[in-house]
């Protein structure tokens, strides 16, 4: 059974489903992207972020991979095509994303490789030591709670297996109450604040170790993710004009405000202890 917060997350992404506006072209991504150049398209930047996580995880042929919070499976398809793992199971808690994601995966000829299914990151229905690699892009801050997810991740990973994810946390020395103010999101009208997960990299590292991880790396990549994404939204908003353009500019302003108030965007990599 989903917690009240997890149910709010489902409502948020269900409402967002109808307002995606084809921002990412033909690929149903939902991430901020990794911007190595300002002239990248949203689709190219989203692919680049997926590749950053794949590289950090060391995905390779022969791996059994779990993608947690996979959304519509756009990133999962990139993993399958470029890294050639033996199998990928991908989970998400939003039914509409599972329904549409399965259609997308089938259209890419990968239905036999990728198993996209409904699943809860904090109570995963997999046996111990089932996977070599676990990846997750931009969603662990939603999990209720991240600590429970890290314990589950360690359980389902084989000894020596790798966890790689991107996440949002407060910078060191920042009181998360500065930006967790009970405000509703601009595009769904849902408050997604999750104070239980609002701790800095030092506390994050402690939770990873307590869950059974070692060889930890927590690195800020906000300068290549949220900030250039906000700049691109601004440019799109000015070009588009009207209410749609104004909505994009409002979203960009809110992203910059969150970063200015101390919310960081990090790449997290860790190895399951042997």
Which residue ranges make up each domain of the chain?
4-177+187-221+265-272
- 109: Cβ–Cβ under 8 A, 6 or more apart, which residues? none
C-alpha radius of gyration, the chain, whole number: 18
Is the pLDDT at 20 greater than 70? The verdict is no
Question: Which pLDDT does position 17 carry in this prediction?
Answer: 85
Mean predicted confidence (pLDDT) in 40-61: 97
Q: In this structure, what token pair is assigned to residue 253?
A: 């302003």
**For position 18, what pLDDT does the model report?**
73
Residue count (the chain): 274
Q: What is the pLDDT of residue 19?
A: 64
Q: Residue 202, Cβ neighbours under 10 Å: how many?
A: 9
What pLDDT, on the 0 to 100 scale, is given for residue 244? Answer: 87
Q: What pLDDT is stored for residue 1 in this prediction? A: 79
Give the Cα separation of 269 and 208 in Å (integer): 10
Nearest one of 186, 123, 190, 131 to 159, comparing CA atoms: 131
Residue 138: strand, helix, or coil: coil
Instruction: Evaluate whether 195 touches 180 at the Cβ level (below 8 Å).
Output: yes
Query: For the domain 4-177+187-221+265-272, what is the CATH code?
Result: 3.40.50.150
In this prediction, residue 72 carries a pLDDT of 96
pLDDT, one tens digit per residue, over 141-193 is: 999 999 999 999 999 999 999 999 999 999 999 999 999 999 999 888 999 99
Given pLDDT bands bounded at 50, 70 and 90, which one contains residue 24?
low
């Amino acid at each position: 059974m989903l917690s009240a917060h997890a149910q709010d997350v489902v409502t948020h992404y269900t409402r967002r489903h109808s307002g995606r506006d084809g921002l990412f072209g033909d690929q149903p991504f939902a991430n901020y992207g990794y911007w190595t150049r300002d002239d990248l398209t949203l689709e190219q930047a989203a692919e680049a972020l997926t590749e950053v996580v794949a590289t950090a995880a060391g995905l390779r042929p022969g791996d059994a991979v779990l993608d947690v919070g996979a959304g519509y499976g756009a990133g999962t398809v990139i993993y399958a095509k470029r890294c050639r793992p033996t199998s990928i199971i991908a989970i998400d808690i939003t039914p509409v994303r599972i329904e549409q994601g399965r259609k997308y995966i089938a259209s890419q000829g990968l239905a036999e490789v990728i198993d996209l299914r409904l699943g809860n990151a904090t109570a995963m229905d997999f046996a111990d030591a089932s996977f070599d690699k676990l990846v997750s892009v931009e969603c662990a801050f939603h999990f209720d709670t991240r600590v429970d997810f890290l314990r589950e991740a360690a359980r389902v990973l084989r000894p020596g297996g790798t966890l790689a994810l991107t996440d949002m946390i407060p910078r060191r020395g920042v009181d998360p109450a500065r930006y967790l103010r009970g405000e509703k999101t601009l595009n769904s009208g849902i408050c997604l604040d999750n104070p239980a997960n609002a701790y800095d990299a030092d506390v994050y590292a402690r939770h990873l170790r307590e869950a059974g991880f070692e060889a930890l790396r927590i690195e800020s990549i906000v300068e290549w993710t949220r900030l250039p994404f906000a700049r691109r939204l601004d440019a799109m908003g000015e070009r588009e004009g009207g209410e749609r353009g104004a909505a994009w500019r409002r979203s960009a302003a809110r992203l910059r405000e969150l970063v200015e108030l101390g919310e960081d965007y990090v790449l997290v990599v860790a190895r399951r202890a042997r």
